């Protein structure tokens, strides 16, 4: 008579194994696209490493590295059209970049710039979300707008494993299911929420099965397998565009680095664990696949990393060239028209009190 959670079995979806071999049919991505995806992944990794250095040099503020999660982010973002809407958390520089936001925007944010969360016109994305799962309700509202406007756009949000514990996650999935909205909830289960391991974050065996609570299809995918991630996201996108409602994707991956530059992961996890995940590195895996396809070799690899270094150099230069903005300017963005009190405060600010 009881529904026993232990009776449920969930199998993880994989396309490429750790050796970079196909375990089932690959999604229909041409070579040009595969190489594009790989380029995104490598440059993202280079950006992440550079950002960590910039932080140590005091040139940016607290930084949340994403190394290890490139396949999850880039594979999913690659499945979207530029006209679709994206709702990131604070760790999604690569996804935002694939979706059209130049990388320097992510850098500006970590510099604490007044304009650090203003994405360029035409990029259909919300800015960095600091409140865990705050974006989960926004993606639902945006998907609702698409239903209302009948514009066939899809809205996708990124959430961490920790974010699934928040009330907003629950409320949003429930709404999206009842209203059959074109929303995709993409969970990067990177095993940790700061110091809390996944096993203490929830009592359910997977995050994918949480969809059952809402009547939403869920899937657990190998998040370090960019082909698998792309494939399941494409299916979720198709379902959304066809008006069939929301989907929940759990991408099983790993955060290689600290939670942020303020964090010391040695306090809560073992080096052995970190090493074991290095075997599953998403970039290595795709490289092996490309090599197997004979469209990649060491020479191209070297050239790409060189290109990456140059690209990042430019990104840093651009970001550091942007005037940081002034407090007085920000007074213009509290309301469309500053209130009399703001105007008065602006004047005292200029006068030094």
**Contact set for ligand TPP, span 139-168 (CB under 6 A):** 160-163
Q: Is 91 a catalytic residue?
A: no
Long-range contacts of the stretch 49-54 (C-beta < 8 A, 24+): 50/312, 50/316, 51/107, 51/110, 52/257, 52/261, 54/107, 54/316
- Return the structure tokens found at 40: 């995104």
Dihedral angle of Cα 102, 107, 113, 115, to the nearest 10 degrees: 10
Nearest 5 degrees, angle CA 72-CA 77-CA 80? 140
Does residue 174 belong to the site contacting a copy of itself (CB under 8 A)?
A: yes
List the beta strands (DSSP E) in 114-261: 155-160, 183-189, 192-193, 196-197, 218-222, 247-252
Nearest CA to 100 out of 128, 76, 75, 81 is that of 81
Of the candidates 7, 25, 121, 298, which one interacts with another protein according to CB under 8 A? 121
Catalytic-labelled residue, pool 24, 82, 268, 333: 268
1 binds, among another protein, Mg ion, a copy of itself, none (CB under 5 to 8 A by kind): a copy of itself
214 binds, among another protein, a copy of itself, Mg ion, none (CB under 5 to 8 A by kind): a copy of itself
* Residues 299, 276: Cα–Cα separation, whole Å: 28
91 binds, among ligand TPP, another protein, Mg ion, none (CB under 5 to 8 A by kind): ligand TPP
Of the candidates 37, 43, 193, 232, which one interacts with ligand TPP according to CB under 6 A? 193
Provide the mask over 33-72, with x wherever binding to another protein is found by CB under 8 A and - wherever it is not: ----------------------------xx----------
Q: Which is nearer to ligand TPP, 133 or 316 (CB)?
A: 133
- Return the structure tokens found at 73: 């982010």
Provide the mask over 259-298, with x wherever binding to ligand TPP is found by CB under 6 A and - wherever it is not: x---------------------------------------
Catalytic-labelled residue, pool 153, 255, 285, 287: 255
Q: Is 198 a catalytic residue?
A: no
Q: Is 24 a catalytic residue?
A: no
* Residues 25, 18: Cα–Cα separation, whole Å: 16
For 60, phi then psi, to 5°, come to -135, 170
Of the candidates 76, 146, 206, 233, which one interacts with another protein according to CB under 8 A? 146
Q: Which is nearer to another protein, 32 or 341 (CB)?
A: 341
- The catalytic residues are 255, 259, 268
């Amino acid at each position: 008579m009881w529904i026993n959670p232990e009776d449920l079995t969930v199998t993880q979806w994989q396309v490429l194994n750790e050796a970079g071999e196909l375990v089932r049919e690959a999604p229909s991505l041409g070579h040009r696209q595969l190489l594009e995806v790989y380029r995104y992944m490598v440059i993202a990794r280079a950006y992440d490493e550079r950002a960590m250095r910039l932080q140590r040099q005091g040139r940016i503020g607290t930084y949340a590295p994403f190394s290890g999660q490139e396949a999850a982010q880039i594979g999913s973002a690659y499945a979207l059209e530029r006209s679709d809407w994206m709702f990131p958390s604070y760790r999604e520089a690569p996804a935002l970049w694939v979706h059209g936001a130049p990388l320097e925007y992510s850098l500006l944010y970590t510099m604490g710039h007044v304009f650090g969360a203003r994405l360029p016109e035409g990029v259909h994305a919300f800015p960095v979300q600091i409140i865990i799962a705050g974006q989960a309700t926004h993606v639902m509202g945006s998907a609702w707008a698409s239903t209302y406007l009948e514009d066939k756009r899809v809205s996708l949000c990124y959430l961490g494993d920790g974010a699934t514990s928040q009330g907003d996650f629950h409320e949003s999935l429930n709404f999206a299911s009842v209203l059959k909205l074109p929303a995709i909830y993409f969970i990067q289960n990177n095993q940790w929420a700061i110091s809390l391991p996944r096993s203490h974050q929830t009592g359910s065996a997977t995050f994918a099965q949480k969809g059952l609570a809402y009547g939403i299809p869920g899937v657990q995918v190998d998040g370090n397998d960019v082909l698998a991630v792309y494939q399941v996201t494409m299916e979720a996108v198709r379902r959304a565009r066809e008006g069939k409602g929301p989907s929940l994707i759990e991408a099983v991956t790993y955060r290689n680095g600290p939670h942020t530059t303020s964090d010391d992961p040695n306090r809560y996890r073992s080096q052995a664990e970190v090493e074991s995940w290095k075997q599953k590195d998403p970039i290595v895996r795709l490289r092996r696949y490309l090599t197997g396809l004979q469209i990649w070799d060491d020479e191209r690899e070297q050239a790409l990393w060189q290109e990456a270094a140059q690209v990042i150099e430019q990104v840093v230069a651009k970001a550091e060239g942007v005037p940081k903005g002034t407090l007085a300017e920000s007074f213009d963005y509290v309301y469309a028209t500053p209130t009399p009190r703001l105007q008065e405060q602006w004047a005292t600010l200029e006068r030094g009190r």
